[in-house]
Amino acid sequence: MSVLTSKEPAEIQALSPQTVRADFPALDRIFADQQRLVYLDNAATTQKPRAVLEATRRYYEESAGNVHRAVHRLAAEATELYEAARQRIAKFIGAPSTRSMVFTHGATEGFNLVAYGWARKFLKAGDEILVTEMEHHSNFVPWQRAAQERGAVVRIAPILEDGTLDRVAFARLLTPRVKLVAVTHASNVLGTVNPVAELIAAAHAIGALALVDAAQSAPHLPLDVRALDADFLAFSGHKMLGPTGIGVLYARETLLEAMDPFLTGGEMISKVFDDHATWADIPQKFEAGTPHIAGAIGLGAAVDYLERLGRERVRQHEQQLTAYALERLGDLPGLRIFGRAPERVGVISFALDGVHPHDVAQFCDQTGVAIRAGHLCAQPLMHRLDVPALSRASLYLYNATDDVDRLVEALQAAQRFFHAT
Amino acid sequence: MSVLTSKEPAEIQALSPQTVRADFPALDRIFADQQRLVYLDNAATTQKPRAVLEATRRYYEESAGNVHRAVHRLAAEATELYEAARQRIAKFIGAPSTRSMVFTHGATEGFNLVAYGWARKFLKAGDEILVTEMEHHSNFVPWQRAAQERGAVVRIAPILEDGTLDRVAFARLLTPRVKLVAVTHASNVLGTVNPVAELIAAAHAIGALALVDAAQSAPHLPLDVRALDADFLAFSGHKMLGPTGIGVLYARETLLEAMDPFLTGGEMISKVFDDHATWADIPQKFEAGTPHIAGAIGLGAAVDYLERLGRERVRQHEQQLTAYALERLGDLPGLRIFGRAPERVGVISFALDGVHPHDVAQFCDQTGVAIRAGHLCAQPLMHRLDVPALSRASLYLYNATDDVDRLVEALQAAQRFFHAT
Amino acid sequence: MQLDDLYQEVILDHYRHPRHFAALRDDETLVDEENPLCGDHIRMAAKLAGERLTDLRVQCTGCAICTASASMMAEAVSDQPVSAVRSKIETFLAILRGEQPPQADDLGDLVALRGVAEFPMRVKCATMPWHALSAVLQRLSVAK
Amino acid sequence: MQLDDLYQEVILDHYRHPRHFAALRDDETLVDEENPLCGDHIRMAAKLAGERLTDLRVQCTGCAICTASASMMAEAVSDQPVSAVRSKIETFLAILRGEQPPQADDLGDLVALRGVAEFPMRVKCATMPWHALSAVLQRLSVAK
Ligand SMILES: Cc1ncc(COP(=O)(O)O)c(C=O)c1O
Ligand SMILES: Cc1ncc(COP(=O)(O)O)c(C=O)c1O
């Protein structure tokens, strides 16, 4: 991996973070102490470009009707905007049709939808679900619960020292009892990008289905569900420049058709009788009630924004910046980085000797640098790494080397502050 | 009920719809034909005041962190705003504490949460759930499905000719087999306001729990869950001036504690082990994943706005306007109103002789008047009323007599247009 | 978008005086379809005489667009060879999808429904009779 | 909100040199609590001598706030009558809730933790040892 130092900024500026930053009103924030906000908690949630805020504002101020139900203009406009967003997001992830695109309120709801609508219907006693040690709770606890209910078992493929998946162990665990492989595309702790296309092919080879947690990949990597051959894939809008409360579950049409509905109520029915009901076509079958219309429209605008910047350029910028950050952080004595996968995203978790992660994050915050600390919604992984908690800095397209420099300064100051006697 | 005619506008103007309208940018919309938008589809979704748009904009532009997880300022501000919204909404509905307030993405998810977390856990074969003939699909289909799974039965209390609940039949159906009474506070078709406090007392008297669908009452009526003694109550933000994708489920703390979690993942866990997990305290136990932070904050602002206007004044304004609308529509030959309950909200469904509801709505729309047509998510009620569909005009606080006049003109023109030979 | 684009005079005329409409007995009904969203309900009966579609009768309760579309359709396809009927169905559906098929001119009065494409919420109203007609052809060819 | 409000010198001192801390055997541990969110972990042992709390020992891995709070607490309540301990717990928790109880001045060094109330995300770090101490009193009074 080539590493750029601060002396070679030309390549890193290819995306021009300065220009990009100007699109994000939140990044203008200056704290009382004259420090510019350095936002490095992007794996938790991202800032929003003006284009996204504008798109949702326009819906509310001009076309705030409900969707699918009424013939008046506001409702027609709302429906058009909502369905156009579905179409653009489908294109963004290479989905063959909008029929396979279910709007959810986030990645978490996507996994639960599959756990309720697919796993509880099709899993049998003795069946297995194979996950990895680096899963986020949202791609773990739903399977635990579904498995418990069905008498099935969740198996956990371990990771290696460098934070990559143990492929040998994975292959060993992938027996014909496995009916679903649920694996994250990119880890929100280690930054590891998993070879999901290969893992999916292996799953299919033994007749299992494969689900991809794309919460940390959709914002950062070019993504093509057909190239991956994924059966299910879910992500959240708020982690990719979009509004809160919206996400997407992609699933093969045949699977959506075979699955039971999950939430029931308006929109998702065809006919309702006193003693039974029939379901609408997919994807409406899985969208009960009034959807988050403004959220879908905002996510559509976010996806447009990402495509306008160019996803390859975004990826390149983040890779260079990540390399820079790894080098600078690696130089700090007493700092230990968790996760050294060669294929990775800009999520960097670390421990600072003798300073608790919460104190690290608190101290950074006081210098205007926002990072995260805690179990990072991955307690099984914390047990594996044998740490109570970690600090995490996570990068996005509007970050640049000066942000990393500010982080490094803050960490050095924290060491001085807490270690002084 | 006293009826005001257009010659006595003084009382009706008490709320000053002119001033109120100025708070709603969407109502400034002028269509190509110079017609001002007359928005009468408020039972589907409402327009948003500037205060709500401002509150969500501020979150996104200043404090767009994730909640509950990080120590940095953006996250702390986001958490504070989010929890303050929960507190204000709790106060708005008289909830004894925020622990009983679960943010959902709408009324529909609220009912499903109870259907999954309570009904599937506690219902036994032979148990019954009692609903009414005027329920929205969202307060009907989830019970149908939960009952099917548990071998329980859904009973439907009929309505009378005037669109009120048949109290005699209800009392007859309320046997000790009933474990849950699920009833709408206000009908989204008939406008009927049900005597929920009495129905809840009756349910409690035989040991059943009571759930209230407040989707059409929270926006319009003063509401107090303690006075009602409701066990569960759910509503949607987008129908009460708030953003899309957010809603609230109120439930008694002891019930939330006894219930199984519904969606699982981040935020809602306490500890996660390889083979099991434990749950966070209520209400977080029911809020898996990143919540719709901007939505909650926006709903908090909507509730503030409603309280600033004064809920009694809103109610009075709407009652007077409804009376005016009923009188004017009642005068139209060939127009039949469905629902004549003395206690009602401003939802008026009707049929126009010889003109299909969709054509009525389409014609109105071309004159700038937005009304709804269809089965109104209440197919069992449509069967009961023996109509394939209805047209519906629904009023809100920004409507005034001139809006009703425009509707009446449009309906008269529609009659002329479609009946001419 | 003008209302007149949608409810053209010829459409209103078919709505008020639908052609080929009749009350159908259950035993002659080939297709029975309903749009639960708006309650439109359509039933059809027809026969094959060699390669021709004959005796097409429609029973329809629906909005003006649905009713007029059914009536104009019945007029346009009655006593036509099945192949011509199929191509009319395709042409019509393409127009309502907003496409511009080459043979659009053989639709006669039906071009009046072109305006419906501008009203996405109403497209289903206009196309429903045609989907039902497709199903009728299917039933007849299986029965043969 | 200044960082110094949070990490005052006296807090840092207790963090670096915690008082009454010891490695505890399982059989003497009365309370074992964990905050799964940040991994803070606290164990406590103590005895009753008549109405006095004695021999309080704490084992704690946590952030500076949690550690300092535990250390200052141990110093403040050791060898105190149980009733005084209870009132200190109440006073302290009230301060951290942002309230201003009348007896705040008998807290000594602990007032340094007052600044934590300004950092809502950290309040739990400071209060956790005190909730654990509450549980210790509970255990001791049941055992009595
Ligand atoms: C009475 C009633 N209940 C429930 C709902 C469902 O609300 P939502 O679609 O926002 O979940 C509605 C609105 O459609 C309603 O009118
Ligand atoms: C890898 C991963 N999966 C899933 C999620 C859950 O996303 P959400 O909380 O938006 O549902 C997250 C984010 O917290 C994540 O990082």
How far away is chain D from the Cα of A83, in angstroms, using its nearest Cα?
39
Give the pocket of ligand 1 (CB within 6 Å): A 266, 289-290; B 43, 106-108, 136, 138-139, 184, 188, 213, 215-216, 236, 377
Nearest residue in chain B measured CA to CA from C116: B362
- What is the DSSP secondary-structure string of chain D? --HHHHS-HHHHHHHHS-SSB-PPPGGG--EEEEETTTTEEEEEEEEEETTEEEEEEEEEE--HHHHHHHHHHHHHHTT-BHHHHHHHHHHHHHHHTT---GGGGGGGGGGGGGGGGG-GGGHHHHHHHHHHHHHHHHHHHHH-
A249 lines ligand 2 (CB under 6 A): no
Instruction: Give the end-to-end CA distance of chain D in Å, rounded to a whole number.
Output: 45
Closest atom of ligand 2 relative to the B289 alpha carbon: 9
Ligand 2 centroid – CA A85 distance (Å): 21
Whether B354 maps to a domain, the answer reads: yes
B with C: how many residue pairs have Cβ under 8 Å apart? Answer: 51
pLDDT at C143: 73
Tens digits of per-residue pLDDT, D5-53?
788 889 999 999 999 999 999 999 999 998 877 788 999 999 999 999 9
Q: How confident is the model at residue B4 (pLDDT cuts 50, 70, 90)?
A: very low
A106 lines ligand 2 (CB under 6 A): yes
Residue C67 has pLDDT above 50, yes or no: yes
pLDDT at A227: 98
CATH number at residue A283: 3.40.640.10
Whether B265 maps to a domain, the answer reads: yes
Whether B421 maps to a domain, the answer reads: no
A220 and A75 in one domain? yes
φ and ψ at residue A324, rounded to 5 degrees: -60, -45
- Given C37, C41, C64, which is nearest B359 (Cβ)? C64
* Interface mutation target, options B27, B284, B290, B365, chain A, most CBs of A under 10 Å: B290
- CB-CB neighbors (< 8 A) of B420 in chain C: 12
pLDDT at B420: 67
Whether A92 maps to a domain, the answer reads: yes
CA distance A305 to A242: 10
Query: Does B76 contact D36 at a Cβ distance shorter than 8 Å?
Result: no
Query: Does B79 contact D122 at a Cβ distance shorter than 8 Å?
Result: no
Query: Does B79 contact D120 at a Cβ distance shorter than 8 Å?
Result: yes
The residue-averaged pLDDT of B86-109 equals: 98
B164 and B281 in one domain? yes
DSSP-derived 3-state class of residue B324: helix
A302 and A403 in one domain? no
Q: How confident is the model at residue B2 (pLDDT cuts 50, 70, 90)?
A: very low
Q: Pinpoint the alpha helices (H) of B195-250.
A: 196-205, 225-228
Composition of chain B by helix, strand, coil, percent to 5: 45, 20, 40
Core vs surface per residue A13-30: b (16+ CB within 10 A) or e: eebebeebbebbbbbebe
Residue C72 has pLDDT above 90, yes or no: yes
Query: Does D120 contact B270 at a Cβ distance shorter than 8 Å?
Result: no
Contacts of D23 (CB under 8 A, 6+ apart): D59
A with B: how many residue pairs have Cβ under 8 Å apart? Answer: 293
Domain boundary among B273, B307, B341: B307
ipTM: 0.93
A339 and A209 in one domain? no
The residue-averaged pLDDT of A333-361 equals: 96
Residue B421 has pLDDT above 60, yes or no: no
- CB-CB neighbors (< 8 A) of A80 in chain C: 120
CATH number at residue C138: 3.90.1010.10
Whether A384 maps to a domain, the answer reads: yes
CA distance D34 to D42: 6
Nearest residue in chain C measured CA to CA from B377: C37
The residue-averaged pLDDT of A291-302 equals: 98
Residue B83 has pLDDT above 60, yes or no: yes
Closest atom of ligand 1 relative to the B43 alpha carbon: 16
Residue B82 has pLDDT above 70, yes or no: yes
The residue-averaged pLDDT of D88-103 equals: 86
pLDDT at B239: 98
A415 lines ligand 2 (CB under 6 A): no
A43 lines ligand 2 (CB under 6 A): yes
Which ligand gives the minimal distance to the CA of B104? 1
B113 and B180 in one domain? yes
- Given D34, D36, D122, which is nearest B71 (Cβ)? D122
Query: Does A362 contact D122 at a Cβ distance shorter than 8 Å?
Result: yes
Question: Could you count the other beta carbons within 10 Å of the beta carbon of residue D82?
Answer: 16
CA distance B113 to B226: 21
DSSP-derived 3-state class of residue A229: coil
Query: Does C119 contact A71 at a Cβ distance shorter than 8 Å?
Result: yes
The residue-averaged pLDDT of A82-99 equals: 98
pLDDT at A16: 87
Q: Does A246 touch chain B (CB under 8 A)?
A: yes
CA distance A390 to A393: 10
The residue-averaged pLDDT of A205-213 equals: 98
How far away is chain D from the Cα of B271, in angstroms, using its nearest Cα?
6
B247 and B234 in one domain? yes
B-proximal residues of A, 99-118, CB under 8 Å: 105-109, 111-112, 115-116
Cβ-based burial of A208 (10 A; exposed 0-12, middle 13-18, buried ≥19): buried
Whether A421 maps to a domain, the answer reads: no
Task: Please state, rounded to an integer, the average pLDDT across all residues of chain B.
Answer: 94
Query: Does B71 contact D121 at a Cβ distance shorter than 8 Å?
Result: yes
pLDDT at B11: 46
Residue B348 has pLDDT above 70, yes or no: yes
Q: Count structural domains, chain A.
A: 2
- CB-CB neighbors (< 8 A) of B145 in chain A: 264
Tens digits of per-residue pLDDT, A222-254?
999 999 999 999 999 999 999 999 999 999 999
Q: Do chains D and C touch (3 or more CB pairs under 8 A)?
A: no
Percentage of chain C modeled with pLDDT above 90 = 65
A301 and A315 in one domain? no
Residue D112 has pLDDT above 90, yes or no: no
- Residues, chain A: 421
Q: How confident is the model at residue B71 (pLDDT cuts 50, 70, 90)?
A: confident
Query: Does C36 contact A75 at a Cβ distance shorter than 8 Å?
Result: no
Amino acid letter, A375: H
Which of A59-73, A348-362, C60-74 has the weakest average pLDDT? A59-73
pLDDT at D141: 85
Q: Are B413 and B369 in contact (CB under 8 A)?
A: no
Give, for ligand 1, the residue of B193, B377, B379 to mutate: max count of ligand atoms closer than 8 Å to Cβ: B377
A315 and A299 in one domain? no
A-proximal residues of B, 335-374, CB under 8 Å: 358, 361-362, 364-365, 369-374
* Interface mutation target, options A67, A68, A71, A285, chain C, most CBs of C under 10 Å: A71
Is the torsion defined by CA of B289, B292, B296, B299 positive or negative?
negative
Tens digits of per-residue pLDDT, C8-42?
889 999 999 999 999 999 999 999 998 877 788 99
pLDDT at C2: 63
3-state secondary structure chain A: CCCCCCCCHHHHHHHCHHHHHCCCHHHHCECCCCCECEECECCCCCCCCHHHHHHHHHHHHHCCCCCCCCCCHHHHHHHHHHHHHHHHHHHHCCCCCHHHEEEECCHHHHHHHHHHHHHHHHCCCCCEEEEECCCCHHHCHHHHHHHHHHCCEEEEECECCCCCECHHHHHHHCCCCEEEEEEECECCCCCEECCHHHHHHHHHHCCCEEEEECCCCCCCCCCCHHHHCCCEEEEECCCCCCCCCCEEEEECHHHHHHCCCCCCCCCCEEEECCCCEEECCCCHHHCCCCCCHHHHHHHHHHHHHHHHHCHHHHHHHHHHHHHHHHHHHHCCCCEEEECCCCCECCEEEEEECCECHHHHHHHHHHCCEECEEECCCCHHHHHHHCCCCEEEEECCCCCCHHHHHHHHHHHHHHHHHHHCC
Nearest residue in chain D measured CA to CA from B80: D120
- Residues, chain C: 144
Tens digits of per-residue pLDDT, A117-147?
999 999 999 999 999 999 999 999 999 999 9
The residue-averaged pLDDT of A360-380 equals: 95
pLDDT at D144: 67
Query: Does B106 contact A293 at a Cβ distance shorter than 8 Å?
Result: no
**Atom 12 (ligand 1) nearest CA:** B215
Q: Which residues pair with A180 in a beta bridge?
A: A129, A209
Is the pTM higher than 0.90? The answer reads yes
pLDDT at B419: 82
Percentage of chain B modeled with pLDDT above 90 = 91
A with D: how many residue pairs have Cβ under 8 Å apart? Answer: 52
Q: Are C53 and C137 in contact (CB under 8 A)?
A: yes
CA distance B106 to B86: 15
CA distance A54 to B390: 36
Which of A62-71, B231-240, B405-414 has the weakest average pLDDT? A62-71
Q: How confident is the model at residue C92 (pLDDT cuts 50, 70, 90)?
A: very high
Which residues form the domain of D127? 3-143
Catalytic position from the list A233, A306, A377, A404: A377
pLDDT at D70: 95
CATH number at residue A386: 3.90.1150.10
Catalytic position from the list B146, B326, B377, B400: B377
Which residues form the domain of B158? 54-307
A134 lines ligand 2 (CB under 6 A): no
- CB-CB neighbors (< 8 A) of A270 in chain C: 36
**Atom 14 (ligand 1) nearest CA:** B44
Q: Does A387 touch chain D (CB under 8 A)?
A: yes
Which of A91-105, B331-345, D103-117 has the weakest average pLDDT? D103-117
pLDDT at B356: 94
pLDDT at D3: 64
Domain boundary among A307, A332, A349: A307
Whether B104 maps to a domain, the answer reads: yes
Tens digits of per-residue pLDDT, B125-182?
999 999 999 999 999 999 999 999 999 999 999 999 999 999 999 999 999 999 999 9
Q: Are A215 and A136 in contact (CB under 8 A)?
A: yes
Q: Which two tokens stand for residue D100?
A: 């201003």
Is the torsion defined by CA of B310, B313, B314, B315 positive or negative?
positive
A226 and A212 in one domain? yes
Which of A112-116, B316-320, C110-114 has the weakest average pLDDT? C110-114
Nearest Cα neighbor of A212 from A251, A166, A257, A173 is: A251
Domain boundary among A307, A323, A345: A307
A345 and A332 in one domain? yes
Nearest Cα neighbor of D49 from D73, D75, D80, D71 is: D80
* Interface mutation target, options D63, D66, D116, D122, chain A, most CBs of A under 10 Å: D63
Q: What angle do CA D49, D52, D55 make, to 5 degrees?
A: 70
Alpha-carbon distances, residue D108 vs A318, C75, D69, D70, D73 (angstroms): 50, 96, 12, 14, 10
- CB-CB neighbors (< 8 A) of D118 in chain B: none
Percentage of chain D modeled with pLDDT above 70 = 93
Q: Which two tokens stand for residue A287?
A: 């969208």
A201 and A343 in one domain? no
Q: Count structural domains, chain C.
A: 1
Question: Could you count the other beta carbons within 10 Å of the beta carbon of residue B220?
Answer: 30
Query: Does C15 contact B418 at a Cβ distance shorter than 8 Å?
Result: yes
Could you confirm whether B364 is annotated as catalytic? no
